[in-house]
Amino acid sequence: MSKILVIHASPRGDRSHSRRLAEGFLSAWQARYPQAQVTRREVGRTLIPAVNEAFVAAAFHPEPEARSLSMQADLALSDQLVGELFDNDLLLISTPMYNFSVPSGLKAWVDQIVRLGLTFDHTLDNGVAQYTPLLQGKRALIVTSRGGFGFGPGAELEALNHADPWLRTALGFIGINDVTVVAAEGEESAERTFAVSVAEAEQRLLELAREFQMA
Ligand SMILES: Cc1cc2nc3c(=O)[nH]c(=O)nc-3n(C[C@H](O)[C@H](O)[C@H](O)COP(=O)(O)O)c2cc1C
């Protein structure tokens, strides 16, 4: 875990709880490993383009080597984002829950990094699609903040949570299966409820900063 890729998805800056909690983990981890390399990729406060027709044509080109210069240009950002994934050992994602899912910038980032031939492969087995993940040995930590309460595993609103469980599925599809989620819940509940949840999340993140081993 000597190289960390940090993805922040909240459009909020200093007021973002998910961002602050993730930065808290990062500080604790960097205190332990000062030589660690950190790469930041902002997806909440900068525009990550949505997939368009040109992107689909280029990304799913049947002969990747025959892509035109303009197709290569259409994939340039995606290539860079995929490169960042391969270059790093730990992926630290901070995200709010937005409308039971994640903010659109994070969705756009995922759409850019799930790439045929780079992060997953597709073959046919007796005509049935088979998918193979192409990333190995990576770990992810998702730090999330929610306005409501009870979206965690086993809790009342679990079935409505399409944020971190979806992210876990998408990361697993490309080979990142070692995924830890830390959530603060109840920003829109009583102040005390949220404060307790934030304190628990901070505590868990400090423990994780001690547990995560450097490669
Ligand atoms: C557009 C929008 C949609 C939201 N949707 C949800 C939601 O579906 N469920 C929920 O619990 N909270 C929801 N919230 C509240 C946020 O998850 C909460 O404020 C969170 O702490 C924001 O994260 P941040 O502090 O990192 O920006 C929403 C907030 C906004 C602005």
pLDDT tens per residue across all 215 residues of the chain = 589 999 999 999 999 999 999 999 999 999 999 999 999 999 999 999 999 999 999 999 999 999 999 999 999 999 999 999 999 999 999 999 999 999 999 999 999 999 999 999 999 999 999 999 999 999 999 999 999 999 999 999 999 999 999 999 999 999 999 999 999 999 998 889 899 999 999 999 999 999 987 66
Q: Are 118 and 33 in contact (CB under 8 A)?
A: no
Q: Which atom of ligand 1 is nearest the CA belonging to 44? A: 27
Please state the atom number of ligand 1 nearest to the C-alpha of residue 20: 26
* Residue reference for tokens 């971190």: 164
Residue 97 Cα to ligand 1 midpoint, Å, equals 5
Q: SS3 of 78, please?
A: helix
| CA distance between the termini of the chain | 5
Q: Is 16 close to ligand 1, i.e. is its CB under 6 Å away?
A: yes
What gap in Å lies between CA 137 and CA 86, rounded to an integer? 10
Rounded-to-integer distance, Cα 50 and Cα 180, Å: 27
| Sheet with 90-96, edge to edge strand ranges | 37-42, 3-8, 90-96, 139-146, 178-185
Domain span holding position 14: 3-211
pLDDT of residue 213: 76
Would you say the C-alpha torsion 1, 93, 158, 16 has a positive or negative sign?
Answer: positive
Other Cβ atoms less than 10 A from the Cβ of 101: the count is 17
Domain total in the chain: 1
* Distance (Å, whole) CA 153 – CA 113: 27
pTM of full prediction above 0.75: yes
Pocket of ligand 1 contains residue 14 by CB under 6 Å = no
CA 213 to chain centre: 20
Tell me, using a 6 A CB cutoff, whether residue 12 lines ligand 1.
yes
17 lines ligand 1 (CB under 6 A): yes
3-state secondary structure of 39: strand
Task: Give the CATH number, domain containing residue 183.
Answer: 3.40.50.360
Give the pLDDT of residue 215. Answer: 64
